[in-house]
Amino acid sequence: MTPETRVAEFDAADPLAHYRDRFTLPGGVIYLDGNSLGALPKATGPALQQVIAQQWGEGLIRSWNSAGWFEAAGRIGGKIAPLVGADRDEVIACDSTSVNLFKLIAGALAMRPGRRVILSEPGNFPTDLYMIAGLEAQGLATRRLAERHRLTEALDGDVALLMLTHVHYKTGAMHDMAALTRAAHDAGALVLWDLSHSTGALPVDLNGVGADFAVGCGYKYLCGGPGAPAFAFVARRNHDTFQQPLTGWFGHASPFAFSDDYEGAPGIERLQCGTPPVLGLAALEIGVDLIAEIGVHRLYAKSQALSEFFLESLMAHGVELELVSPPQAGKRGSQLSFRTPDAYAICQALIARGVIGDFRAPDVLRLGFAPAYLSFADMAGAARHLAEVLTSGEWQRAEFQERAAVT
């Protein structure tokens, strides 16, 4: 039996199949970019309407109390916590991933006086590396990059913080969180994990591995909407010593005392800076609730089944593309990346057919498999389109060859 003939059987046996109906997906589209911007839950629009009309329109400023606006950041953080193996009071939803990285890197440096090296790997997500630059410019940090197989030996007595992205944004390769966390701790360093490509797609066990800090993204697998607030995790054992460098009034122990002097709130609330984006948090909460309802273990199982089925389908079509993601499903996140010099044009040709993946310079075609709303039929369809694009040579047409100024 070819993979295509098994599609109906696979979708019928998929315990998560009905969740697709909880999302708005445009007709004629196979969406393989949920790792960049998650799809829209159907509940988000009505929920935001309600927040806008009732809480804002009617409640006005009273809604800070009556509608729980004050608690939203901590409440939603508490809902994200079980998805990443943290306790509820160790996670908060706030700011962007970039800003949270800054707060945690700076705070970690202060916890390791005499050490100033931030160790990461070349090719980490750009903002993760850039956020070190500002601290370097202030003379507070020194960046050190080591290839992933050399990270352990680069952990010496100068390293204050090991900062890595758990699932690589471009290749999908997954780090061994437990082993690297242990190695960093053995060298006296703290550890910060960026979970942007993990949270909501696969289980993570921050406390199980003893991580110190983590950040993650709200608009990818958590389906919080474009520019959704991110989240930050600080292990409880660090709550007393961790100083947040962006000492805004929402992280104050009593913001409404209007004191002249800063005193950080106890615990994770200290991570807040300014007034939280209530509308953004409201949308994020819908996505988080839905992903939590489905459950990260089930999502991961389906994600692996989807990507394996996609690879099988490609093979059945005789497609030979260089896979840059780890071939073993257990060693990668919820994506498959292929290297080809024509990645850009192939990606454009796929998009013209309604198969939305993305291109990562200079030569990677990246296909994300958000398990909450994709079907095996999507996999079969995407594989067929990719095979047709390659055999027809349509990607060689000028319209697909043109390089966009911004990719």
Ligand X SMILES: *Cc1c(COP(=O)(O)O)cnc(C)c1O
| Catalytic sites, residue numbers | 125, 194, 219-220, 366
- Nearest by Cα to 194 from 214, 210, 208, 178: 214
Residue from 16, 217, 290, 383 binding ligand X (CB under 6 A): 217
- Within 10 Å of residue 240's Cβ, how many Cβ atoms? 8
Applying CB under 6 A, among 125, 231, 395, 400 the residue interacting with ligand X is 125
Tokens 């360093």: give the residue.
189
Q: How far is the CB of 341 from ligand X (least distance, A)?
A: 24
* 378 touching ligand X, by CB under 6 A: no
Task: Identify whether the C-beta of residue 91 lies closer than 8 Å to the C-beta of residue 288.
Answer: no
Shortest distance (Å) from residue 233 CB to ligand X: 14
User: What is the size of the binding site for ligand X (CB under 6 A)?
Assistant: 13
Binds ligand X by CB under 6 A, chosen from 63, 196, 307, 313: 196
Select 369 or 395, whichever has its Cβ closest to ligand X: 369
Asked if the bond preceding 362 is cis, omega within 30° of 0, the reply is: yes
Other Cβ atoms within 10 Å of 130 Cβ, number? 13
Coil, helix or strand at residue 23: strand
Q: Is 358 in the site for ligand X (CB under 6 A)?
A: no
Two tokens, residue 2:
């070819």
Quick one: which segment of 62-70, 91-99, 310-318, 319-327 binds ligand X (CB under 6 A)? 91-99
Contact 373, 47 (CB under 8 A): no
Q: How far is the CB of 159 from ligand X (least distance, A)?
A: 20
Stretch that binds ligand X, among 2-10, 75-83, 96-104, 173-181 (CB under 6 A): 96-104
Among 19, 169, 344, 369, binds ligand X (CB under 6 A): 169
Question: Does 337 help bind ligand X (rule: CB under 6 A)?
Answer: no
CA distance 189 to 368: 33
Please report how close the Cβ of residue 238 comes to ligand X at its closest, in angstroms: 21
Query: Which of 17, 56, 98, 185 contacts ligand X by CB under 6 A?
Result: 98
From 92-100, 248-256, 309-317, 319-327, span contacting ligand X (CB under 6 A): 92-100
Q: Which residues contact 75 (CB under 8 A, 6 or more apart)?
A: 68, 285
Residue 359 host element (H or E): strand 358-360
Q: Is 50 in the site for ligand X (CB under 6 A)?
A: no
Q: Which residues of 302-324 are buried (b: 16+ CB within 10 A; e: fewer)?
A: bbbbbbebbbbbbeebebebebb
The DSSP letter of residue 179 is: H
Does residue 127 touch ligand X according to CB under 6 A?
yes
Using rule CB under 6 A, residue 128 touches ligand X? yes
Q: Is 353 helix (H, G, I), strand (E, B) or coil?
A: coil
96 binds ligand X (CB under 6 A): yes
CB nearer ligand X, residue 103 or residue 317: 103
Which lies closer to ligand X via its Cβ, residue 368 or residue 371?
368
Q: Tell whether residue 285 is a contact of ligand X (CB under 6 A).
A: no
Q: What are phi and psi of 83, to 5 degrees?
A: -70, -20
401 three-class SS? helix
Asked if 97 is part of the footprint of ligand X (rule: CB under 6 A), the reply reads: yes
CA 150 to chain centre: 25
Q: Which of 115, 116, 175, 197 binds ligand X (CB under 6 A)?
A: 197
**CA 79 to CA 83: how far, in whole Å?**
8
* Window of 70-78, 90-98, 370-378, 393-401 that interacts with ligand X by CB under 6 A: 90-98
**Positions in 221-240 near ligand X (CB under 6 A):** 230
| 3-state SS assignment for residue 5 | helix
Binding of ligand X at residue 165 (CB under 6 A)?
yes
N- to C-terminal Cα separation, the chain: 39
Q: Interface residues with ligand X (CB under 6 A)?
A: 96-98, 125, 127-128, 165, 169, 194, 196-197, 217, 230
